[in-house]
Chain A
């Protein structure tokens, strides 16, 4: 069957999306990675905030 000519690239954020879930295993891994990074970033931000105090 004919396939779509091109696929759009998109950024995977911690919020995820149906598009990410629809990518299956690959999308799920990327999304969870983004969630982890976001957690880390939040933690680091919080830690930095504490340091400033």
Chain B
């Protein structure tokens, strides 16, 4: 066991808490307890996982695993007998939570209202389930405590008294949230008023139970989860200031204070909670995701399962304070919800499971000594206090909670056909698992799930995800086919909706407008996401000239999606139209100013236009928002070099190579800075040696079938400023003659060390059939020129006639295809090959765009204008 940093830890969960709401409140002195907690420790943003659905996330927080491993895959699960659905239960969790691990280590835990924790687990300590606070009876009836709500059972009576019924909430309490209740009696009958009272009562119940346990029990670990901020926000974020004209003014005036009051009430509860801890306790307060509170608030919530999650934003809050934690209110970055369990284990001095995805948040610790690891906590025997495998939860107990989920819009009301509903729910859970896998970088297994559920259901949002998955895997043909299929599906859907609208008009159905956003615009022919997906596909296929008009079209219609102007900016940067790119990056930041890659894109534009101070600002912001991207640090370093701030530049490059040790260019910069600017020859030598010993050289290879235009691309590269090693001579090649001269040069790379050393960073044209002869210990950036085989054969025939050689063989097509297979085998066989495919016809028609694509692919600032000219020649 390692050294413990803390004896006791209190984790407080505030579902959906977001700095964007908190910051202005704190500035006005309205959240003093949170401010004190921040100032005494560290704070920062915490990244959520996709999909941002709370039961999955809070289980990832408590386990360090993603949903496909921890087993909590949505809001509902089928009843064991398959006769319906119930809210997801703790019995579905397949791995140990932090309290189970601590149980094995002899520690006592109190867990209150964690989602999901019903039925409670038999831990050493007290567990109060997430159904504890949910009222099941009218106020004048006995409110029984369901089985599975409290562990140990003998504490049921004691804790029963701390539940607050929504109808106990008094007018004096309620007017803090809806001031007009004081004078407007009609308002007291509104559904939203009752909703607010219910959320407040739930929060008060959880808080009363947790404070009671804090005062009356011994514990080493305590976790308290509040869902109230999320629920207040889903109820009333649309009324939160600033006012939006789409919202009825009367409603705005009635409900505009609900969200703020919800946050302030949490601060008051926090104040009390902090009063009850001792000096040995470390506090971690966090949310699982944020909540859009500004212009990003959606005006339309899709009528689909988990539709309300559209209101969630990707970053929540994290604050840590107490023993083991740095003091002074320092901001930390790069935290993810999946890091919490490893961080808790590190606080207790326990080893972290190697199978856990998250990392220890060392930047929050005073002592940054590395923690120990074990293979897996799942393999450690002992009394973990987990459920017996045979435990089943009483489904009746869960019905009220299920109703609440329906009311919040997280799940659909039950269909008459229960079996169908169960199938739909299973499919939906598979969809969440697939998204969660993609978010964690495991795209291939997710693809299989998405393909299956889309095939079964033809639900367009499954198809949309599948498009993104295909894109990330470079499966462009499947992607194109799917976009076409989605186009057909959407056309049919639109026809159906328009029909419905026509009928609804007759019936004066005013609510229909909420059904689908396309109803707001009579002229819509298909949803614009299809153009967006098509634009992204073209972008991925290196056809920016086709992507740009589509993205611009989408941008004109929808100015709420920050990704659209970001991608346009990216294309313009590639085209070296930096000034125009800046405009789009700024547009994107106006929608979402916390996107690190947009600040980075803008910084890069400024850097290329020599606006160094502005570049520095943007690149520093990108690094602050996401510290873990080596490219951000690299370009920050480049900017600092140009500002002649060599010390900080060296620091930036050092960070870049810490994340990507093989980043040759950063080592080269460091060598140069230490040698010539900072005069630290030892350090300079260190990097020189590192490059020599550890960094493989990188060559740029241009290849393709004979007569596909590879030689022209090599000329293009040379004109852009790329040094060429061999293959410049556009020798006539044909499918019969293998290019012996070319092969000789390639062999020399393996036999002549000096020649090999000289090849670093240079370009060469290599015949496709010779690629496998390239030495395996170099890195290769390969530009493959693709041309239709018929065109190649046509040109080959001309070569054959010119050289007066024999006729082309009958099996020429098969021979050419065999060579393409050789290429595929070669790229698959080695991990150090990166490929850019360019079509010959695109090179001819859009040489400037292609030059930009090549320059970006190579990570070099080539002269694209010169490259374009060379190709035209």
Chain A residues in the interface with B (C-beta under 8 A): 1-4, 15-19, 21-29
Contacts and interface: CB of A to CB of B under 8 A. Distances in A.
A17 B175 CA distance: 10
B860 interface: no
A24 B269 contact: yes
Nearest to B206: A24
Interface residues of B, number: 36
B211 A25 contact: yes
B207 A16 contact: no
Given A22-B272, A26-B211, A15 B265 contact: no
A24 B268 contact: no
Nearest to B209: A25
Nearest to B327: A1
29 contacts: A1-B36, A1-B37, A1-B283, A1-B322, A2-B40, A3-B275, A4-B36, A15-B170, A18-B176, A18-B264, A18-B265, A19-B268, A21-B200, A21-B204, A21-B208, A21-B265, A22-B207, A22-B268, A22-B271, A22-B272, A24-B207, A25-B162, A25-B208, A25-B209, A26-B215, A27-B208, A28-B162, A28-B164, A28-B208
Contacts of B322: 1
Interface string B173-201: 10010000000000000000000000010
A2 B35 CA distance: 11
Given A24-B207, A25-B211, A25-B215, A17 B274 contact: no
A15 B265 CA distance: 17
Contact of B40 (A1, A16, A19): A1
B269 A1 contact: no
B210 A24 contact: yes
Contacts of B275: 3
Nearest to B325: A1
A30 B757 CA distance: 82
B212 interface: yes
Contacts of B209: 25
A17 B32 CA distance: 19
B41 interface: yes
B321 interface: yes
Contacts of A18: 173, 176, 261, 264-265, 268
A19 B33 CA distance: 14
B196 to A, nearest CB: 12
Contacts of A17: 172-173
Interface string B290-326: 0000000000000000000000000000000110000
B36 A22 contact: no
A46 to B, nearest CB: 20
Contacts of B170: 15-16
A25 B212 contact: yes
B4 interface: no
Nearest to A25: B212
A24 B289 CA distance: 26
A22 B269 contact: yes
Given A1-B40, A22-B207, A24-B211, 15 more contacts: A1-B274, A1-B321, A4-B32, A4-B271, A15-B171, A17-B173, A18-B261, A18-B268, A21-B207, A22-B271, A24-B207, A24-B273, A25-B208, A25-B211, A28-B161
Nearest to B276: A24
A18 B177 CA distance: 10
B273 to A, nearest CB: 8
Interface in B236-274: 261, 264-265, 268-269, 271-274
Closest 7 CB pairs of A and B: A24-B211, A1-B40, A22-B268, A25-B212, A15-B172, A21-B204, A28-B208
A23 B272 contact: yes
A34 to B, nearest CB: 11
Contacts of A28: 161-162, 164, 204, 208
Interface of B: 32, 36-37, 39-41, 161-162, 164, 170-173, 176, 200, 204, 207-212, 215, 261, 264-265, 268-269, 271-275, 283, 321-322
Contacts of A3: 36, 274-275
Contacts of B271: 4, 22
A18 B322 CA distance: 27
Contacts of B32: 4
A18 B257 CA distance: 14
A53 B462 CA distance: 75
Contacts of B204: 21, 28
A21 B166 CA distance: 13
A3 B271 CA distance: 9
A28 B173 CA distance: 13
A1 B273 CA distance: 13
Contacts of B265: 18, 21-22
B173 A1 contact: no
A4 to B, nearest CB: 8
Contact of B41 (A1, A4, A16): A1
Contact of B173 (A4, A16, A23): A16
Contacts of B273: 24
A17 B37 CA distance: 24
Contacts of A1: 36-37, 39-41, 274, 283, 321-322
A24 B211 CA distance: 6
A23 B268 CA distance: 8
B188 to A, nearest CB: 15
Nearest to B211: A24
Nearest to B279: A1
A23 B176 CA distance: 17
Contacts of B40: 1-2
Contacts of B176: 18
Nearest to B171: A15
A19 B268 CA distance: 7
A21 B203 CA distance: 9
A19, A25, A26, A27 — which one has the most chain B CB atoms within 10 A of its CB?
A25
Contacts of B37: 1
A28 B211 CA distance: 11
A4 B39 CA distance: 13
A3 B322 CA distance: 13
A7 B273 CA distance: 14
Contacts of A29: 161
A20 to B, nearest CB: 8
Nearest to A32: B161
Contacts of B173: 16-18, 21
A50 to B, nearest CB: 24
A23 B171 CA distance: 18
Contacts of A4: 32, 36, 271
Nearest to A14: B170
A38 B40 CA distance: 42
Contacts of B211: 23-26
A32 B212 CA distance: 15
A36 to B, nearest CB: 12
Contacts of B208: 21, 24-25, 27-28
A21 B164 contact: yes
A29 B216 CA distance: 15
A28 B164 CA distance: 9
A25 B578 CA distance: 61
B37, B172, B176 — which one has the most chain A CB atoms within 10 A of its CB?
B172
A28 B160 CA distance: 12
A4 B34 CA distance: 12
A3, A17, A18, A29 — which one has the most chain B CB atoms within 10 A of its CB?
A18
A3 B270 CA distance: 12
B648 to A, nearest CB: 33
B208 to A, nearest CB: 5
Contacts of A25: 162, 208-209, 211-212, 215
A2, A22, A29 — which one has the most chain B CB atoms within 10 A of its CB?
A22
Nearest to A21: B204
Contacts of B210: 24
